Amino acid sequence: MKIKLIDVETEPGEFETGTCELCFGSMWCENPTYIFESNGKQVEIEGYGWSWGDYEEVEIDNIISFAAWLNQQEFPDDTKIDDYWLWEVASRYSDENESD
């Protein structure tokens, strides 16, 4: 199965971080949403998350290169395209393209 990245939308802004007086602060967050297409269906996946007041974002250094790389990959037909899949495939892309 082929999966294509067709768009990335962001909702940037400054957000509060931390869960207590000691670690409370604010930071700029991009809040990307990745839009993929497979088998004629579009899937939107948030490429960020919050855990106990900490913001994490999928790290993809070059979206164009990532989209081209993804276009060359083949995935099993039962692949579930969700946030876990996105974090895993972004990590695999980064590992394979470290020296670039």
Tens digits of residue pLDDT in 6-41: 999 999 999 888 878 888 888 899 999 999 999 999
The 10 Å Cβ neighbour count of residue 47 is: 21
Q: Which residues pair with 68 in a beta bridge?
A: none
- pTM of this structure: 0.87
| Range(s) of the domain holding residue 32 | 4-96
Q: What pLDDT, on a 0 to 100 scale, did the predictor assign at position 97?
A: 87
Per the listing, tokens 């250094």 go with 61
How many domains does the chain divide into?
1
Closest residue by Cα to residue 34 from 14, 18, 57: 57
